[in-house]
Amino acid sequence: MVPDKIQLEGMVFYGFHGASPAEQEVGQRFVVDLEAHRDLRAAGLSDELEDTVSYSHLYKLVKEIVEGPSRKLLENVAETIAARILAGFPVDAVKVRVRKPEVPMKGSILSFAAVEIYRTR
């Protein structure tokens, strides 16, 4: 595993994901944390954008997925993000955490529900 990484923490989007029809109709906030693993030595030495991965491009991809068509499971949202990053960016691995802060569970008191996945090439 490459110890270097690009991190995007606390990206907040409004999406329509969830198992219940109400979640898919009304929507809610989702918070995404992302780590893209890649050797960053070349970029550190050259100071050139082409030697790294643009975090603005990573952000746009995550936004497109989370704000896109509804999905039933957070696992599917996270898996789609990871697969698209591995397919479209020169990274060795990616860790994706998708949090749902306002979990619609009767009688629940919790900060969030989340899934976190780690995928490699």
The one-character DSSP state at 91 is: -
The rounded radius of gyration (Å) of the Cα atoms in the chain is 16
CA gap 99, 29 in Å, rounded: 9
> Could you confirm whether 72 is annotated as catalytic?
no
CA gap 90, 76 in Å, rounded: 22
CA gap 8, 54 in Å, rounded: 11
CA gap 70, 26 in Å, rounded: 11
Catalytic annotation, pick one of 60, 63, 72, 100: 100
Active-site residue set? 100
